[in-house]
Amino acid sequence: MIEKLTYTGPTGTLAPGSAAPPSLSDGSSPFQNILTHEMNSSSSLEKMVLNFLIKTMESIMSTTNQIDPWSSISSIPFFGGASFQAQPLLNSPRFEPGFGVSAGQPNGREIDKIIQGAADQYGVDPSLIKAVIAAESSGNPRAVSPAGAQGLMQLMPKTAADLGVTDPFDPAQNIMAGTRYLSRLLDRYQGNQKLALAAYNWGMGNLEKNPSSLPQETRNYIVRVEKEYQAYRISSSTA
């Protein structure tokens, strides 16, 4: 679920003996613009922050009580072009009942084309886009979470508006906007998929302000998306 586009800055405790970075949320001018777009590996402070986030994520995920990696796999097809497709659990309490494409909506193959178009435009692996959709909405274009996130990639209303979406339940608008934001996150974290997924689900500001507090729901989300991603990649290679 995309929560917001705003940034509040990371904080946290480094390993003993490490130099602690200045607070990035203290409002002082050197820190107001840091990390606003992509973390610059040539900047020592930004590189240190990125490394801290990566190490924190690796530590958290190594001790996460991971879900059964294949518990979310189903033979129910949604995306076209392959006989085997990965799908999330369909009884998630986060979403309205229903699965698949409703009347008047594009069919699976048409959505597959939309995903490929978004992948080409924003440089994101189409299998990753499908995995995020599967984890976020079970492939239901009408999905609405209790928090108000909407559509296939679960855009919050304000974020959808910021991304130029006029109808979050329109698969094309939702997928293009969600992929655009996912691309931004991947660029920001220099391709680190776990950080990008954590920010997509929990919020970029939350992740960077206190990465050590990554909630269990987000940890499970990362595991699920990555397992779905691998399944989609296998599926696409054998289609």
Q: Which of 216, 239, 204 is nearest to 127 (CA)?
A: 239
Q: What's the rounded Cα separation, in Å, for the pair 211 and 198?
A: 9
Instruction: Encode pLDDT of 110-120 as tens digits.
Output: 999 999 999 99
**Which residues, in sequence order, are bridge partners of residue 155?**
2, 150
Q: What is the pLDDT of residues 90-113, one digit of tens each?
A: 333 333 333 344 546 678 889 999
Rounded Cα distance between 85 and 9, Å, is 38
> What gap in Å lies between CA 233 and CA 239, rounded to an integer?
10
Both structure tokens of 7:
């940034």
CA dihedral (127, 189, 122, 96) positive or negative: positive
Per annotation, catalytic residue among 136, 208, 226, 228: 136
Token pair of 76, please?
A: 């129910």
- In order of start, what are the domains of the chain with their CATH numbers? 1-9+40-95+104-239 (1.10.530.10)
pLDDT tens readout for residues 4-52: 443 333 333 333 333 333 333 333 333 333 444 555 555 788 888 899 9
Residue 136 bears catalytic tag? yes
Q: Quick one: DSSP state of residue 5?
A: S
CB 228 within 8 Å of CB 78: no
Instruction: Please tell me whether the overall predicted TM-score, pTM, comes out greater than 0.85 for this model.
Output: no
pLDDT digits (tens, 9 = 90+) for 140-154: 999 999 999 999 999
CA distance 129 to 118: 9
Distance CA(154)–CA(228), nearest Å, equals 17
3-state class percentages of the chain: helix first, strand second, coil last, to nearest 5: 50, 5, 50
- Which is higher by pLDDT, 235 or 150? 150
Residues of the chain with pLDDT > 70: what percent?
65
